[in-house]
Amino acid sequence: MAKSVKALIVVVGLGFLGWLVLTYLVVKPFSTDLSVIGEGKPVVVLVHESYMPAGMEAMERLNQVRGAFESDIKFRVADLGTPDGKTFASLHDVFDGAMVLLDAQGEPVRITLVPESIVSLKQEIERLR
Between 3.40.50.2300, 3.40.30.10, 1.20.1260.10, 1.20.120.330, what CATH number should domain 31-126 receive? 3.40.30.10
Average pLDDT over residues 78-91: 97
pTM over 0.85: no
Given this model, what pLDDT does residue 51 score? Answer: 81
Given this model, what pLDDT does residue 25 score? Answer: 43
End-to-end CA distance of the chain: 62
Given this model, what pLDDT does residue 23 score? Answer: 47
Among the listed residues 121, 25, 18, 19, the one whose alpha carbon sits nearest the alpha carbon of residue 64: 121
What's phi and psi for 18, nearest 5 deg? -60, -45
Does residue 68 contact residue 75 with C-beta atoms inside 8 Å? no
Q: Which residues of 96-107 are buried (b: 16+ CB within 10 A; e: fewer)?
A: bbbbbbbbeeee
pLDDT band at 84 (very low <50, low <70, confident <90, very high): very high
